[in-house]
Amino acid sequence: MHCHSEAPLLDPDAPVVLVGHPNVGKSALFGALTGRYVEVSNFPGTTVEVSQGKVDGVPPLKGVPVIDTPGVQSLHAHSDDERVTRNILLSRPPRVVVQVADARNLRRSLLLTLQLAELGHPFLLDLNMSDEARARGIVLDTPRLAQVLGADIVETVAIRRLGVDDLRARFDVARPMGYRIHYDGAIENAVARIAEWLSPNLTEARAIALMCLAGDDDLAARYGGEQAETIREVVAETAVRYTQPLSYVITQQRLRCVDCLLAQIIHQSPQAGPTWAERFGRVAVHPIWGWPILAAVLIGLYLFVGQLGAGVLVGWMEGVVFGKWIVPIAVRLVNLIPFPLVVDLFVGEYGLITMALTYGIAIVMPIVLTFFLAFGILEDSGYLPRLAVMMDRPFKAMGLNGKAVLPMVLGLGCDTMATLTTRILETRKDRVMVTLLLALGVPCSAQLGVLLGMIAFLPPSAVVLWGAVVAGTMFVVGWLAARVIPGKRSDFILELPPIRVPQVGNILIKTVARLEWYLKEVLPLFVLGTLILFALNKTGALHTLERWAAPLVQGGLGLPPETTGAFIIGFLRRDYGAAGFFTLARAGQLNATQLVISLVVITLFVPCIANVLVIVKEHGWKTAVGVAAFVFPFAFGVGAALNWVFRMLGVAF
């Protein structure tokens, strides 16, 4: 059954609201509509940023407000972004809702279209990236789609501003979409009962009723009192009629309508089949074939960073650049200073040049350089999100849900910032658990690079053991934490960009930018760590600490006393501590078995001092102390247990 409405009277301040999935070109369209002047502000009561501007053009549309809502998967609000978009659409009648849809992926877009239809607002469908759709051989019968939907459709290529004028010209003549889905009897009955309790003239009553049925408790709670109670009762009564959750049932019924629509309008040209990139992209997330691909990528990463970075480049930087040039020249120059303490400060055992700069530039920089290069390839090729999808599965087994994977993977960038992004997680359970696991076992990209570089010195069996211990530790802790910290899981939704050949220029620019960021962030901490060790050494406190730590470091972990210094600087930054072990290993002071133990312990350390301070800021002192009080003894405990097992079983690498 279709119904048509006349275009409503126009409020001059009513905004144009842009809605759509992520990655469909909304921002490009927003930019094309508004020109340069944009105001970005947080939606009240949230940390979600919303862009607002005014239409740039000729009257009467010039100066009309435009709101670019956050990209959403649906109007069933599961995240802050979806709540904000929903609230913007419900807060005041818009001039027009413009859904920006990806013309290459219409099935997903039309699912959102049908939800927007239920709101009853004036509506335009913008089929963006229409040039790319045609290039793929996708031919859309746009007039037919417009006729069936009962709405105007405009094809655009927003980044080139094609079609934008045509779209703009239709803002004031847009009408509510004529198409309405008929759900099954039980749902339609529930919608009617809920809508009865809402304001009788409410245009969005049907949409609100369906959102409540789909589990939007937040929306139902807004009505308060008897209304909210009635809505909940209707939802509960309807839910028991189905074996699946209502949100799933409603979505399935919408999808059936979408598929009917598509069958009428899409004609794929026979020559256009899936490209190699599309085929690879699908296989890369296959539940079975995705794993060998993931393993191959990780092995490739390990070889690239471990062999090229830690082997060849570090050997050259440390042996030639620093070993034959920089350090000897620095020693000669600094020895001219008549103060032995100052000489020691620069070129002594814990000298700023001989330790801080050597570690930071000769040892760590080549490794992170190769790591950043490899990471840039993963990003630019489009494989990185697929890696996240594959990692979602074991993390789910840990008791973490999909969305919590993102900060875990993000820890590869910077654990400190990843701790901040736990804000995107819906439940406190997930936020605290991910914070703990980030602090425990996820090295940041630079640390991971250094660890990979150190692993290159180990036989494959030791590498497997290290990976198994770290992954196993995280699994156990995550599983236990999931049972200890109450709460419910949230959903994981990830946009998968197309697989493409990485652009060399893009990768080089990203790598250089990351390297500059890393050096600016890390070198000051390396200098600080060296100064601390220098002071401890000069005062004799280092020797005292080594004696105190001997029962743990030598007795428990089976490591030489020199590693105490590496653990001390490891408190500041894990990669600095790892670099210390790296140097000891290259000097032959750590055998392979000891290197495995030290690697396991340093991997499980809290990442860096900045991370601890951010945990304080995000979760409070108690949580930060709790995390540190757990992580450090746990890391040493795992190392000690490993040492004991190795001794008992006579394992030596």
Partner 1 sequence: MNCPLCGYEFDETAMTCASACPMAAVQGCNLVCCPNCGYQMVDERKSGLAQLLRRALKVVGREQRSTGQEQK
Which residues lie near partner 1 (CB under 8 A)?
22-28, 31, 38, 40, 47-49, 51, 70-71, 81, 379-380, 382, 384-385, 388, 406-407, 409-410, 413-414, 416-418, 420-421, 423-424, 494-497, 505, 508-510, 512-517, 520-521, 524, 609-610, 613-614, 617-618
Token readout for 121 is 């607002």
Phi, psi of 544 (to 5 degrees): -65, -45
Q: Count CA within 13 A, CB hemisphere, residue 464.
A: 5
Q: Which of 146, 210, 150 is nearest to 179 (CA)?
A: 150
CB of 71 to partner 1, least distance (A): 6
Pairwise CA distance, residues 598 & 563, whole Å: 9
Residue 555 C-beta: closest distance to partner 1, Å: 35
In terms of CB distance, is 505 or 650 closer to partner 1? 505
Question: What is the greatest pairwise CA distance in the chain?
Answer: 95
Nearer to partner 1, 29 or 596 (CB): 29
Q: How far is the CB of 592 from partner 1 (least distance, A)?
A: 34
Determine the Cα angle at 538 with ends 532 and 544, to 5°.
85
Strands 65-68 and 16-20: parallel
Close Cβ partners of 192 (under 8 Å, ≥ 6 residues apart): 209
Q: How far is the CB of 208 from partner 1 (least distance, A)?
A: 25
Secondary structure, 3-state, 118-164: HHCCEEEEEEECHHHHHHCCEEECHHHHHHHHCCEEEECEHHHCECH
Which residue lies nearer to partner 1 by CB, 162 or 609? 609
Query: What's the closest the beta carbon of residue 140 comes to partner 1, in angstroms?
Result: 22
What is the distance, to the nearest Å, from the Cα of residue 401 to the centroid of all Cα atoms in its chain? Answer: 13
Q: Are 50 and 65 in contact (CB under 8 A)?
A: no
Residue 445 CB, shortest distance to partner 1, in Å, is: 9
C-alpha separations of 140 from 25, 137, 143, 249, 264 in Å? 19, 10, 9, 28, 9
Residue closer to partner 1, measured from CB, 22 or 560: 22
In the bound state with partner 1, the residue whose beta carbon lies nearer, of 409 and 651, is 409
**Residue closer to partner 1 (CB basis): 48 or 125:** 48
- Rounded to a whole number of angstroms, the minimum distance from the CB of residue 379 to partner 1 is 4
Q: At closest approach, how far in Å is the CB of 640 from partner 1? A: 31
Q: Where are the alpha helices (DSSP H) in 335-456?
A: 340-347, 365-381, 384-397, 405-410, 415-420, 428-441, 445-455
Our CB check for partner 1 shows the closer of 44 and 505 to be 505
The Cα 2–Cα 538 span in angstroms is 85
380 SS3 class: helix
| Antiparallel, parallel or unpaired: β 122-128 and 175-176 | antiparallel
Q: How far is the CB of 215 from partner 1 (least distance, A)?
A: 21
| Nearer CB in complex with partner 1: 476/613 | 613
**Minimum CB–partner distance for residue 272 and partner 1 (Å):** 22
Q: How far apart are CA 61 and CA 167, in angstroms?
A: 12
Alpha-helix runs per DSSP H in 411-556: 415-420, 428-441, 445-455, 460-484, 504-538, 541-550
**In the complex with partner 1, which residue's Cβ is closer, 419 or 564?**
419
Nearer to partner 1, 131 or 562 (CB): 131
DSSP assignment of 539-590: TTHHHHHHHHHHIIIIIIS---TTHHHHHHHHHHBHHHHHHHHHHHHHTTSS
Least spacing, CB of residue 512 vs partner 1, in Å: 5
> Which residue lies nearer to partner 1 by CB, 389 or 631?
389
